[in-house]
Each structure stands twice: as structure tokens, then as C-alpha cells.
Structure 1
Amino acid sequence: MTEKTFSAGDKVAWDHSQGQTTGHVIRKQTTPTQIKGHKVTASKENPEYIVESDKTGARAAHKPEELRRRN
């Protein structure tokens, strides 16, 4: 399986409990970190992407398979 890759600034969409959200990629995270008290267990083998919501400006980490490119 080919890993989805994104770059900073890429426009993306993802699903959450209230529906779909759109935003953009801030960066690829390859080390563990925390966002608003939530652990992000990213690693080089299992990277996550830090994304920012267009609507709220909130940042979150998502696995590549959870993100979809948008125009």
C-alpha cells in the first residue's frame, strides 16, 4: 500500500463526529507531541499530519489515511 503524502499548505478534508471539516496541512509530524493535552504518537514509521480547520482555526493531528485532498 502506498502511503498518502501531503505538504504544508495542502488543502485537505477529513471526517469527524459532526460531519466533514476542511482545512490545510501545517506540517508532517514524525515525533511524539501533544496538541491541547492530547497525545500524538507520531513516529517516522507512522507519521501524522498537523492540520488547521478553515472554520475554527483549531489544530489537530490526523493519520494520512484519514485525510483527503481537495481543490
Structure 2
Amino acid sequence: MPDKTFKAGDRVKWDHRQGTTTGKVIKKVTSETHIKGHKVAASPDNPEYIVESARTGARAAHKPSELKKA
């Protein structure tokens, strides 16, 4: 599987319990951080992306494997 990389502003989609959501990448995270009270255990070898839902404006962290270009 090719390495999935995204940049800020990229339109992406991801699946969750209620279906598929679309939104945009806010930033790539490569160090431990917190979002909405949850720890994001990102590192340079295990980055995550902060994404913002187009529908609700909510932000969440996702692993690259969970995201697809929209």
C-alpha cells in the first residue's frame, strides 16, 4: 500500500458509525497532543491528521490509513 500523505486544505473523507463524513485536513501532527480532551499519540513515525468535518465543523485526529482523498 502506498504511503498516504495529505497536506493542510486537502479534501478528505472517512468512515464512522453513522456513515461517511467529508471534510478537510487542518494539519499533520507528529508529536503527542490533545484534542477535545483526548490524547493523540502521534509521532514522526506514526503521524496523525487533524481534520474538520464539513457538516459540523467538529475536529478530530485520524490516522492516515483511515482517510481517503475526497
Common fold: TM-score over 0.5: yes
- Cross-structure match for 1:42: 42
Aligned pairs for 1:3-22 (under 5 A) are 3-22=3-22
CA distance in structure 2 between the aligned counterparts of 1:34 and 1:50, rounded to whole angstroms: 11
Kindly, what percent of the aligned residue pairs are identical? 69
2:48 partner letter: E
Q: Report Cα offsets for 1:1-33 as digits up to 9, x if no partner.
A: 432000000000000111100000000000011
* TM-score (normalised: structure 2): 0.96
* TM-score (normalised: structure 1): 0.95
Gaps of 5+ in 1: none
Report how many residues are paired. 70
CA distance in structure 2 between the aligned counterparts of 1:38 and 1:18, rounded to whole angstroms: 21
Gaps of 5+ in 2: none
